[in-house]
Structure 1
């Protein structure tokens, strides 16, 4: 399967976005002082475990999508280097 350059870049950007968003989310979840993520004794609540599971799953899926995008971008670049430059259509 071949991805277009635009689709490859979109998938790569989505993967980077996932790293940024979900790492930030888990960091904020860990620091949560509202009583939702941790009870009075400091133990994680079910809210914490559910949201940590959602974040890790989304992080892993975003990573997989980003890897697909990266492979597509690399393939596009590799293909553009191996194509002979005929000079057709280029204005000096």
Structure 2
């Protein structure tokens, strides 16, 4: 999840097709929605990773 969304976020800010930024260079709704998706994915991915790591550590101690 992190690799995919980090790559997507980088490409989003380099976008030259007019989806992320309009002709004046202002951010569009497309940028904001996809940025919110990326941030949410980062948070959820980190939470799942932390829970998984804690589970693995607890299992190793048992």
The answer for unaligned runs of 5 or more in structure 2 is: none
Higher relative contact order (CA 8 A, sep 6+): 1
For residue 42 of structure 1, the aligned residue among 25, 29, 36 is: 25
1:67 equivalent in alignment to 2:50: yes
How many Å apart are 1:65 and its aligned residue? Answer: 0.6
Residue ranges of structure 1 left out of the alignment (5+ in a row) = 1-17, 80-92
Q: Which residue of 2 aligns with 1:8?
A: none
Counterpart position of 1:5: none
**Runs of 4+ displaced beyond 2 Å:** none
Deviation at 1:41, TM superposition (A): 1.3
Q: Secondary structure at the match of 1:43?
A: coil
> Counterpart of 1:41 in 2: which secondary structure?
coil
TM-score by length of 1: 0.63
Aligned length: 62
Greater fraction helix: 2
Q: RMSD of the TM alignment (CA)? A: 0.9
Q: How big is the shift at 1:75?
A: 1.0
Q: How much does 1:19 deviate?
A: 1.4
